[in-house]
Structures are given as C-alpha cells and as structure tokens.
Amino acid sequence: MHKTSRKTLLYLANEDWAFIQHRLPMARAARAAGFDVHVATNVSDHADAIRAEGFTLHPIVLKRGSRSPIGTLASMNAIRTIEQRIRPQLLHHSGLQCCVLGGFAALGMAIPQINAMTGLGYTFTGKSTRARMLRFIISAVLRLLLNRNNSTALVQNPDDQRTLENVGIDPARIALIPGSGVDTDVLKPLPEPDGPVTVGFAGRLLTDKGIPALVTAHEILQTRGLDTRLLIAGDPDPANPASVSLQEAQRWNSLPGITWLGHVQDITSLWRDSHIAVLPSHREGLPKSLLEAAACGRPLVATDAPGCREIAIHEQTGLLVPIEDPQALADAIGELAASRELRRHYGAAARELVVEKMSAQSIGAAVVALYREQLKHDR
C-alpha cells in the first residue's frame, strides 16, 4: 500500500502510559489495517515504547484534574495545532477529558471522530455536591459534542450506553465494543500458587475502586480465622478526587496478611501469585485488571456494577457482591477460598469468555470496522 493511500488516524490520550495500557491493541490493529497512526498525549516515560510501534508521537501537556482555564485552553490549542499540521482523516479521543478537550479543539473541522467514553468514573459515581455539579455541566457539554454529525460515542458496556442515552445522546451515535482487548496469546492460564489462598487486586488506589472495602473484607476474614493473603498492585492517583492517600496505602503494609506492591510492571506476576482476582469497583468501562486475570484463568470476585458484571458473571466466571458491602465481599472470597474445584471451574470459564469475546484480536477487528464505517459515512 502506497503511503499516499494511507488514512491518518490520530489518538488523543491523557497519559502515554494509559495509551500503552489501554489503547495499544486497537492501535496495532489499525496499523495492520493500513492506518498511519499518530498519538498525541502527555509524555512521561513511554515515548520510546510508542515510537517502537511505528507510531508518530506528538507530546502535549494534559493535566488530569486541572481546573486552570489557561491550561485547558493551551491544551486545546496544542491539539488543534497538531490536527491542522497532520490533517488526520479520523480522530480517536480516549476518556472523558480527551473527548471534551479534543471535541472542542476540533470544532469547525469536518473530521470524523470516535469519542471513547471508557468508564464514566468519578463524575458519574461521586455523591458530593461537586460531583453533582460536574455531572450537570459535563452532561450539557456531552450533548453539544457527541450529537454532532461527525461524532460516534464508543462505550464498553450497556450501562454506559444507557447513561449516555439518558444524558441526551442520540442512540444512533453510540457504539458498544466490550473493552480494549487483552493479548490472550501472552496471558495464558497459570497454575495456582502454593501456600495460603491469596487475593489479588490491580488498579489505581481509589475509593470508588472499592479498595477500602476490600481491606475491610480482608480484616473480616482474618477475624474469622481464615489464613488468606491480600496483594494490592497499584498507586494512589493524586489527580483524582477519589484517591486514597499515600499514607493510607503505606499503612496497609502494617496490617496482617496484606502486601501493598505499588505499581507492578509485569501484571502476570500478580496473577501467578494469586488464587482469586477481586475488584469491588463502583463503576467501570470494562476493567482491564479483571480481563487480564480472567485470561490467566483466575476466578473473579467483583461488584454488581456497570462494567464489572460483563466479565464477572455471577456463578459462571466468579461471584458478584453489592457495592460497598465488605461483609458480602468477605463471604464471596471465603467461598472461593474454601473450594479449589470452584476456583478452577470459574477460572476456566473466565478464560473462555475472554478468548471468545474480549481478546485483542476480536476487539481490534471490531474497532477497525468502526473506523471504516465512520470514514465511509463521514456523516
């Protein structure tokens, strides 16, 4: 294929690590389908990894959680400058912040765009007055940006689809693709480790990921005399209002049976050392931590919440519990801890589900088909 015939696709992600962690399977699929892939993102230490994929990197300054109007305008101007320079045929905005900033930056440009609403997060889960005000403002902004002729909103679960429809987004402009895909050729079923039953958690250390409830559930199991272990992989996220403090995370290491690992580069090592994967989140898009654990053949315990219940199917791939219910969470973990056969059964079913419907290959193919449809119609 000649260079001149390649369509230029520009991804906008708030962090380079987030692009590598969540967008890489679809970007690789787009590259394989003949797209010239560009990435505009805030760069920390993954620039070489992005360039090694053959993608063109455009460093920009994006500050998550920033309330600075000047910083916001500067970011939008930087995005628009890149678009004017490379003239992409398609935009893919990842996450709420990038959908908003990228949407405003592209105003007046007839560029088809995918606005990936990858979990609606604190804005739609928070109960505070600030969260409610943000929800009201963001809903109005989304109606403005996502209902345009050249826009398609991409969601990962039916609950987020219904939320956008309730906000006022035209259902015809919403596409559902379950997750970002995980490499099931690299992540393969692992034998259970020796020793006490160990629970693994992977994710940012946010209250709305349910991590305080998980620590409480572990303490409940300890009082019952169960010799379980808890491995916590992830760091606090100071830019997120729901983040736990560094001091709180450090305190967990002083509790019996808990090890806070911080950021884990090789996620396979976490699931190799764990018998059960747990994510008691309040809301997700489609949680990659559970997808990766499932690919490794681990049974799942999660909350009956948007995104989680698409992968943690009750009494099929694992167990579901109510949100913020440490007692029920402890009961579910205890049930799996007591039965090796049940863990093996749920883990095998979880692996099968991911291979069939949520692998990098299937998600990549679905996303590329969406790209081609968007370019074809260019509404």
Short-list 293, 262, 37, 32, CA closest to 182: 293
Q: What pLDDT sits at residue 6? A: 87
Q: Do domains 3-180+360-377 and 198-357 have the same CATH topology?
A: yes
Short-list 59, 49, 113, 125, CA closest to 307: 125
131-174: per-residue pLDDT in tens?
778 888 888 999 999 999 899 999 999 999 998 999 999 999 99
Burial string for 97-134 (b: 16+ CB within 10 Å, else e) reads: bbbbbbbbbbeeeebbbbbbbbbbbbbbbbeeeebeeb
What's the CA gap between 201 and 158, in Å, rounded?
24
Q: What pLDDT sits at residue 136? A: 86
Q: What pLDDT sits at residue 122? A: 56
- Residue 126 near residue 242, CB atoms below 8 Å: yes
- Residue 234 near residue 205, CB atoms below 8 Å: yes
CB-based burial label for 256 (10 Å; 0-12, 13-18, 19+): exposed
SS (HEC) of 218-283: HHHHHHCCCCCEEEEECCCCCCCCCECCHHHHHHHCCCCCEEEEECCCCHHHHHHCCCEEEECCCC
Q: What pLDDT sits at residue 4? A: 47
**Residue 352 structure tokens:** 């099968």
What's the CA gap between 39 and 8, in Å, rounded?
11
What's the CA gap between 94 and 19, in Å, rounded?
8
Instruction: Report the topology of domain 198-357.
Output: Rossmann fold (3.40.50)
Short-list 73, 72, 57, CA closest to 12: 57
215-263: per-residue pLDDT in tens?
999 999 999 999 999 999 999 988 888 899 999 999 999 999 999 999 9
Query: What is the second-level CATH architecture of the domain 3-180+360-377?
Result: 3-Layer(aba) Sandwich (3.40)
94 residue type, one letter: S
List beta partners, residue 151. Answer: 113
129 residue type, one letter: T
Burial string for 5-40 (b: 16+ CB within 10 Å, else e) reads: eebebbbbbbbbbbbbebbbbbbbbbbebebbbbbb
- Residue 224 near residue 230, CB atoms below 8 Å: no
Which DSSP helix (H) or strand (E) runs through 22? none
Which DSSP helix (H) or strand (E) runs through 333? helix 326-337
Q: What pLDDT sits at residue 134? A: 80
Short-list 165, 168, 166, 121, CA closest to 144: 168
DSSP character at residue 207: G
- Where along the chain do its domains lie? 3-180+360-377, 198-357
What's the CA gap between 27 and 35, in Å, rounded?
9
- Residue 222 near residue 293, CB atoms below 8 Å: no
**Other C-beta atoms lying within 10 Å of the C-beta of residue 313:** 18
CB-based burial label for 254 (10 Å; 0-12, 13-18, 19+): exposed
Using the Cα atoms of residue 371, residue 162, residue 124 and residue 244 in order, give the sign of their dihedral.
Answer: negative
CA distances from 247 to 104, 111, 154, 170 (A): 38, 46, 37, 44
Q: What pLDDT sits at residue 3? A: 45
* Residues lower than pLDDT 50 in the chain: 1-4, 379
Short-list 349, 350, 300, 303, CA closest to 199: 300
Tell the residue number behind the tokens 């995104």, with chain if given.
307
